[in-house]
Structure 1
Amino acid sequence: MNRLIRPLYILVPGLVSILVSCGDKQTQQQAPPPPVQVTTYQVQRGEATSYDEYPAAVTPLKMVELRAMASGYVAGIYFEDGQRIKKGQRLYKIDQQQYQASVDQSVAQLRVAEANERRAQREAERYTALDKQEAIAKQVLDNALADLETAQMQVRAARAAVDQSRTGLNYSTINAPFAGTIGISQVRLGALVTQNQTLLNTLSTDNPMAVDFEVNQKEIVRFTALLQQGNGQDSTFTLALPDGSLYPHPGKIDLIDRAVNPQTGTIKVRLIFPNPGDLLKVGMTVNVRVKSTGSGASLLIPNKAVMEQMGEFFVYVVQGDSVRQQLVQLGNVVGDQIVVREGISENTPIVTEGIQKLRNGSKIQATPGSR
């Protein structure tokens, strides 16, 4: 019997040692974690100026394609490519020899017709006097008057031919219809051009410039109100250039198109921008920035303070030495901040840095900071 009891005395001390060891490990695992180091920020009210952006294109207020109105060889080019042009300035000249010859010929034909008219006029006057004396047959006078009428019609036709030939001569010189900037010439000296076909160049105005963009038909009321109020020459309409920089001059609304596009449900709006530095170019793609009607004093928090879970947004609100998750309703983004519509109030402390280590109820060690 003693042999059976002895192993029990040997096993009991070992079992006690194992139980004590497990108890120490469980005590270590249940020890609270150290507080999380975080940076906090007090919610403040500020000017929440936001903008709605629309893709747009720069277009000139006036633009014309200069085409050859006469056929022949280019005899003169009187500008430099890309030059600013004055209204009426001579741009191109097409060889005028054949057009000048046509004018000279038509003028000579006019002189012949005028001479025939004078002869017919004298005969008609002479026969009219003789007819009063009943010295000639009536038929002779009628023929003389008919010849006079024919001569007069020939004069009118000859004058029309002169006008037409002079028009052709005038068309051989192309002048600027308005002031603007001319593009790169599509022809060179000596090139053969064809009437009404050959494109010579393009001329467009450059200051001010128009910017066209399309808005949904639901926004017609908004933009009509802006047009009627005359909002312009302030920060209501600004431009973001292709490189992301802001255009230094504000614009004003000029017009809203007459009809909605039935295929897209949009309507075109045109803005006018000054262009003193020639920074806006025809065809440039830009973004129109329209100041939101909801701009004003609002609660603002840093973007980095916001967390998202399953489509809901929340922040960590500081409560003493711990934090609590708080759902918020957000508005427009304003730079590195975002508008809070509901969920927190002004001067509420929230966590801005160290968020990734937090969960609801976490203990913290807070350091106040800026946004």
Structure 2
Amino acid sequence: MLFVTRHFIATVLAPVLLFAVAIPSAQAQDVPPIRVGTVKMALQPINPAKSFVGRVEAREHVDIRARVTGFLEEVLFKDGQVVKEGDLLYRIEKAPFESALSRAKGALDQARGQSAFADEQLARATELMKTQAVSAAVRDQRLAEQLTAQGNVQIAEANVQNSGIELDYTEIKSPISGLIGRTVVTKGNVVGPDHGVLTTIVSRDPMYVTIPVSQREFLSLKSSDRGAVRDLLTAAIQFSDGSSYDHPGKIDFVDVSVNRATDSVTVRAVVPNPDGRLIDGQLVKVSLAIEQPVEKILVPKSALIADQQGIYVFVVDGDKASVRRLKVAGQSGTSAIVESGLSADDQVIVEGMAALRPGATVSAYPAATPAKAG
């Protein structure tokens, strides 16, 4: 009986055990592939950038001074406001200059009257000399008097012109458009050419950024044509808080000589400043692409994974996820520059990596944001 029971148990349990062993295998075969987004790698031209410290400078910088001496009647702007070329900034008391202009005009009329009289006297002496009624000496004296009178007219005309200019100088106007600084004088003070700068105006769009580039870095350019150098160089600006400026700069000037004190060449970029974020005198970090473009593989930084062994990415190998160890050399925009570890046409996984494991079966689709050169 015992033998029958054991045989019966063995006979019954054997298919059950076989079924139990078969279940995991069937379940493993039924696991669906992981959906992943991929980017196809390709060689892209990039300019390796190097960082320098640059200084922002206004293209136009004007110190406003009084050109005549007088009492200041009005200050017609607010500190820090935007002004346009021709805007009235200060008004100096006009009355003394209007009086001086009137005197100058009176003196001119007087000189013209004397000149007309001298012309008549010379003409009369010339006619009388023909009949020998007057001597040549008298005629010569009348000629000298005429020339003197004509000279006095010219002097009087110049005085009128100068008085008019000085009267115009009582209204101090902005010679450029830009931001005006703080006024150092107020209404009621005496101002004049010897009283220094009244305020300062700086233009604000576009701005210059001057960058001292070491001679060693400058020589890395593979062109002796200065025009070509300007075409090659581009400037990306970053503020002291680490934020990036939206508008890239265009190099417009490379100095003709090396600064002996610093052994550097001054490079200047013109940068748009429509929002006024760049301020005259500001220090910024400037990334210059100073080498010829080279072709490199760029991989989105979102695809990079780091562990104790370094940096790696997942790639699609057939229908499996495979690990590729990378050596990177900096960044270009939102992508990392790959020195080794990837080849053109590799499909790098950039989406769906949360549950991904090496060797996992995957189903790939093109990701929406391919890597681009920055």
TM-score by length of 1: 0.68
Matched, 1:280 2:293: no
Task: Indicate how the Cα distance of structure 1 residues 266 and 165 shifts in structure 2: closer, same or farther if over 3 A, else same.
Answer: same
Match for residue 268 of structure 1?
Answer: 266
- Whole-Å separation in 2 of the counterparts to 1:245 and 1:224: 34
Q: Which amino acid aligns with 1:93?
A: R
Deviation of the 1:231 alpha carbon: 3.8
Q: Is the 8 A contact 2:210 2:266 kept in 1?
A: yes
Matched, 1:87 2:85: yes
Q: Is the 8 A contact 2:237 2:245 kept in 1?
A: yes
Match for residue 238 of structure 1?
Answer: 236
- Whole-Å separation in 1 of the counterparts to 2:45 and 2:246: 21
Task: Indicate how the Cα distance of structure 1 residues 263 and 294 shifts in structure 2: closer, same or farther if over 3 A, else same.
Answer: same
- Whole-Å separation in 1 of the counterparts to 2:190 and 2:337: 65
Deviation of the 1:335 alpha carbon: 8.2
Match for residue 296 of structure 2?
Answer: 297
Q: Which has the larger radius of gyration?
A: 1
Listed one character per residue, the Cα deviations across residues 331-361 of structure 1 (whole Å, up to 9, x for unaligned) are 335689875646x6769xxxxxxxxxxxxxx
Matched, 1:107 2:142: no
Instruction: Trace 1:126-137 onto structure 2 (pairs within 5 A).
Output: 126-137=124-135
Picking from 165, 168, 184, the partner of 2:166 is 168
Listed one character per residue, the Cα deviations across residues 128-179 of structure 1 (whole Å, up to 9, x for unaligned) are 1111122222222222112111111111222222222222222222122222
- Whole-Å separation in 2 of the counterparts to 1:210 and 1:345: 40
Match for residue 156 of structure 1?
Answer: 154
- Whole-Å separation in 2 of the counterparts to 1:137 and 1:243: 93
Q: Which amino acid aligns with 1:250?
A: P
Instruction: Trace 1:1-371 onto structure 2 (pairs within 5 A).
Output: 50-221=48-219, 222=221, 227-228=227-228, 231=231, 236-291=234-289, 293=292, 296-298=295-297, 304-305=306-307, 331-332=329-330, 341=339, 368=358
- Whole-Å separation in 2 of the counterparts to 1:286 and 1:306: 35
- Whole-Å separation in 1 of the counterparts to 2:242 and 2:225: 29
Q: Is the 8 A contact 1:224 1:256 kept in 2?
A: no
- Whole-Å separation in 2 of the counterparts to 1:136 and 1:335: 98
Task: Indicate how the Cα distance of structure 1 residues 305 and 215 shifts in structure 2: closer, same or farther if over 3 A, else same.
Answer: farther
Q: Is the 8 A contact 1:303 1:337 kept in 2?
A: no
Aligned-residue CA RMSD (Å): 3.8
Q: Is the 8 A contact 2:45 2:295 kept in 1?
A: yes
Deviation of the 1:246 alpha carbon: 1.2
- Whole-Å separation in 2 of the counterparts to 1:247 and 1:299: 23
- Whole-Å separation in 2 of the counterparts to 1:279 and 1:299: 31
Q: Is the 8 A contact 2:296 2:339 kept in 1?
A: no
Secondary structure of residue in 2 paired with 1:199 = coil
Task: Indicate how the Cα distance of structure 1 residues 206 and 306 shifts in structure 2: closer, same or farther if over 3 A, else same.
Answer: farther
Q: Is the 8 A contact 2:56 2:283 kept in 1?
A: yes
Task: Indicate how the Cα distance of structure 1 residues 227 and 250 shifts in structure 2: closer, same or farther if over 3 A, else same.
Answer: farther
Deviation of the 1:202 alpha carbon: 1.0
Task: Indicate how the Cα distance of structure 1 residues 129 and 197 shifts in structure 2: closer, same or farther if over 3 A, else same.
Answer: same
Aligned length: 295
Q: Is the 8 A contact 2:305 2:311 kept in 1?
A: no
Match for residue 38 of structure 1?
Answer: none
Q: Which amino acid aligns with 1:74?
A: L
Q: Which amino acid aligns with 1:261?
A: N
Deviation of the 1:225 alpha carbon: 5.9
Q: Is the 8 A contact 1:48 1:339 kept in 2?
A: no
TM-score by length of 2: 0.67
Structure 1 runs of 4+ with >3 Å offset:
44-50, 223-227, 229-232, 291-296, 298-307, 328-342, 344-347, 366-369
Task: Indicate how the Cα distance of structure 1 residues 339 and 124 shifts in structure 2: closer, same or farther if over 3 A, else same.
Answer: closer
Deviation of the 1:212 alpha carbon: 0.8
Q: Which amino acid aligns with 1:248?
A: D
Task: Indicate how the Cα distance of structure 1 residues 169 and 107 shifts in structure 2: closer, same or farther if over 3 A, else same.
Answer: same
Q: Is the 8 A contact 1:241 1:287 kept in 2?
A: yes
Secondary structure of residue in 2 paired with 1:238 = strand
- Whole-Å separation in 2 of the counterparts to 1:254 and 1:338: 29
Unaligned runs of 5+ in 1: 1-43, 308-313, 317-325, 348-365
Q: Which amino acid aligns with 1:85?
A: V
Match for residue 19 of structure 1?
Answer: none
- Whole-Å separation in 1 of the counterparts to 2:250 and 2:226: 9
- Whole-Å separation in 2 of the counterparts to 1:368 and 1:290: 40
Q: Is the 8 A contact 1:45 1:297 kept in 2?
A: no
Q: Which amino acid aligns with 2:228?
A: Q
Deviation of the 1:216 alpha carbon: 1.0
Q: Which amino acid aligns with 1:228?
A: A
- Whole-Å separation in 1 of the counterparts to 2:237 and 2:182: 27
Deviation of the 1:79 alpha carbon: 2.5
Q: Which amino acid aligns with 2:280?
A: V
- Whole-Å separation in 2 of the counterparts to 1:257 and 1:122: 66
